[in-house]
Amino acid sequence: MISQSFVEVRDLHAHVGGHVAIGGWVETTRIHGKVGFAVVRDGTGTVQCVFVKAEVGEECWSELASLTQETAVRVTGEVRAEPRSPGGFELGVTELRVVGRSEEYPIQPKEHGVDFLLDHRHLWLRSSKQRAGLKVRAEVEQGIHDFFYERDFVRIDTPILTGSIGESAGTLFETDYFGEPAYLAQTGQLYVETACPAFRKVYCFGPTFRAEKSKTRRHLTEFWMLEPEVAFADSDDNMDLQEELVVHLVERALERAAEELEVLERDPNALANVRAPFPRISYTEAVELLQREGSEIEWGSDLGGADETLVARQFDRPVFIYNYPTQAKAFYMKENPDDPRTVLCNDLIAPEGYGEIIGGSQREDDLDRLLHRIREENLPEEAYGWYLDIRRYGTFPHSGFGLGLERMVAWITGRPHIRELIPYPRLINRLTP
């Protein structure tokens, strides 16, 4: 029988001199004459287990020789402080039990191609850099919830199956809903807006879907988005909140995920400047800057990835670009009263080529102008009755934004492609595993 009283490797420091059992997976083994070693990972840490042939007995010694990569084991032994060991402790083994064999584990400690690794994503998750990246992701997610909870936001869970187009018709996943067309949510925004008059400050956080045909290192077809919405906040308040959040999340990762960032070889100095205030430039200023730098961009079109990188390079921290042309942005953004060719919105561009990590805006709160924009975009007006009701029954100024979790975490961890920062990436050519 397997005892349930396992000690977790992260807690070994509290058991020095004691006799404990750990349960985990074998990463490597080595045998030098009459002494052998097995490095065991239990999900909370990694520990070196030391076998002395004369002490463990014949059976245990031959079991050690049979261990292969990723065999599940239960190891019992004495906890010793050992500064030369990774983690600072080792286990002087008295007993070894194989719990589950692992024959010919596909991922070897050599270089594999990324397609091979993505095909084996279910196993690749166990590798140290992948573990570190996903741990930072979990830390950032928790940081998001804590940040908004501490500021009295109410979390609103928005639907995944929807009847109205959230962003634009171009990137929809359509499905059949008992004979009616339905779409996978591109955003939770329209729904979270409706909760503003109920709770004032709200946010949603969940998976969103875009049939993006682009094969870039910044695009997934399924990604997780945080979307706060605040009543009586204007576009400047909106940028203030984004700035506070981003500074907070970066600080938290540096503090609480320092070990993981080290595994990922992320230089913490790259994030040292992420402090308020972030520079804020208008779209028009950004276009002028880009034209000076040699870009072919014309006033009126959206910034491409290369343009974003070029703008970001001029600054030492994330930069806001605000008030884009109406035609470059979604229908729900508020017309800029000072320049009706533009809307009150912003993107937040991360340094180092990570591009747009946040898109936000003040919302069009005028019923007629909103209707006009819906018609202009050829969106099916009848699907938006409920959304327009927010403007019919006590309309009010409000603003919000969407932060793409994978892009944020890719930037914090310095990983080149956002696909590694989600457990199971969905890409244009990948639905498995």
By CB under 6 A, name the binding residues for ligand 4AD. 167, 187, 189, 210, 212, 219-220, 223, 225, 227, 356-361, 400-402, 404, 406-407
185 in Cβ contact with 400 (< 8 Å): no
Whether 367 and 391 have beta carbons less than 8 Å apart is answered as yes
- The 3-class secondary structure across 335-373, one letter per residue, is ECCCCCCEECEEEEEECCCCEEEEEEEEECCCHHHHHHH
Instruction: Give the number of other Cβ atoms within 10 Å of residue 233's Cβ.
Output: 20
Contact positions with Mg ion (CB under 5 A) in 349-388: 359
133 binds Mg ion (CB under 5 A): no
Give 162's Cβ-side CA count (13 Å radius): 23
Cβ neighbours, 10 Å, residue 268: 12
What is the smallest separation between the CB atom of 322 and ligand 4AD, expressed in angstroms? Answer: 13
> For residue 302, what are the contacts with CB-CB under 8 A and spacing of at least 6?
324, 328, 329
Minimum CB separation of residue 305 from Mg ion in Å reads 12
Q: For Mg ion, how many residues bind (rule: CB under 5 A)?
A: 1
How far apart are alpha carbons 202 and 188 in whole angstroms? 11
Which C-beta is closer to ligand 4AD: that of 46 or that of 326?
A: 326
166 interacts with Mg ion by CB under 5 A: no
Report the residue number whose CB is nearest to Mg ion.
Answer: 359
Q: What is the smallest separation between the CB atom of 335 and ligand 4AD, expressed in angstroms?
A: 16
| 404: partner contacted, choices Mg ion, ligand 4AD, none (Cβ within 5-8 A by kind) | ligand 4AD
Which listed option, Mg ion, ligand 4AD, none, makes contact with residue 167 (CB within 5 to 8 Å by class)? ligand 4AD
Could you tell me the smallest distance in angstroms from the CB atom of residue 420 to ligand 4AD?
13
In one-letter notation, the amino acid at residue 412 is: I
Smallest distance, ligand 4AD to C-beta of residue 164, A: 13
Task: Compute the distance between CA of residue 167 and CA of residue 207 in angstroms, rounded to an integer.
Answer: 15
Q: Of Mg ion, ligand 4AD, none, which one sits near residue 143, judging by CB under 5 to 8 A according to partner kind?
A: none
User: Looking at beta carbons only, is 135 or 407 nearer to ligand 4AD?
Assistant: 407
Q: Which residues bind Mg ion (CB under 5 A)?
A: 359
